[in-house]
Amino acid sequence: MNDEQLLRDLGSWLEDTDAAHPDAERITARAMTQVPQVRQRGRWWPLPALDRGSPPAPASGSTVFSALRFVAAGVIIGLFGGFLLAGVLTAPPVDRAPAAATESPSPLTTEELLSTAATDEVEPGVLRVIDDGIRDLAAADTISLVGGWDGGVWLLSEDHFVRVGADGRYEWPAGLTEPAGEFEVAPDGTVWILGAGEDGVSTIWSFDGARWSRHGPTSDTRAIEVADDGTVWAFWQDQGSETVSLGYLADGERRPVGEWHEGRVHGGHLYVSGSDDIWVAGAPAHREGKPELYRLVDGALQQEYEATVVAADVSVDGTAWSVSLDELVRLDRTTEEAEPESWALPGSMTAGWGSRSRWTFLPGDAFRAAPDGSIWFALRADSGPPVPEVHCAGIARFDGTTWLGPFLPDRCVESIELAADGSVWLLAHDAEGSSEDLVDLFVVTPEAIAGPD
Tens digit of each residue's pLDDT (9 = 90 or more) over 313-361: 888 888 888 887 678 989 887 666 678 899 988 888 888 777 677 777 7
**Residue 107 banded pLDDT, cuts 50, 70, 90:** low
Residues contacting residue 22 through CB under 8 Å, at least 6 positions apart: none
Average of per-residue pLDDT across 256-262:
88
Report which of 269, 246, 204, 399 is spatially closest to residue 321, judged by C-alpha positions.
399
pLDDT tens digits, residue range 197-214?
Answer: 787 888 899 999 999 998
Average of per-residue pLDDT across 22-48:
35
pLDDT value, residue 275: 67
The number of C-alpha atoms within 13 Å of 452 and in the hemisphere containing its C-beta is 2
Average of per-residue pLDDT across 65-89:
31
**Residue 434 banded pLDDT, cuts 50, 70, 90:** low
Average of per-residue pLDDT across 63-90:
31
Report which of 139, 447, 89, 26 is spatially closest to residue 270, judged by C-alpha positions.
89
Residue 226 clears pLDDT 50, i.e. is over it:
yes
Residue 16 clears pLDDT 80, i.e. is over it:
no
Looking at the chain, how many residues does it have?
A: 453
Strands (E), 252-388: 253-261, 267-273, 277-283, 292-297, 300-305, 311-314, 319-324, 327-332, 341-344, 360-361, 367-369, 375-383
pLDDT tens digits, residue range 385-408?
Answer: 777 788 899 999 999 999 999 999
Residue 379 clears pLDDT 70, i.e. is over it:
yes
Residue 44 clears pLDDT 90, i.e. is over it:
no
**Residue 442 banded pLDDT, cuts 50, 70, 90:** very high
Rounded to two decimals, the pTM is: 0.74
CB atoms near residue 267 (< 10 Å): 30
pLDDT value, residue 105: 58
Domains of the chain from N-terminus onward: 3-450 (2.130.10.10)
pLDDT value, residue 95: 38
pLDDT tens digits, residue range 146-187?
Answer: 988 888 899 998 889 999 999 999 999 987 877 777 899 999
Residue 78 clears pLDDT 70, i.e. is over it:
no
Cβ atoms of 144 and 183 within 8 Å: the answer is yes
User: Which of 62-76, 159-173, 297-311, 424-438 tops mean pLDDT?
Assistant: 159-173
Query: How far is 428 from 380, CA to CA, in rounded Å?
Result: 12
Phi and psi angles of residue 177, each rounded to the nearest 5 degrees, phi first: -100, -10
Please, what is the Cα angle at 347 between 342 and 353, to 5 degrees? 105
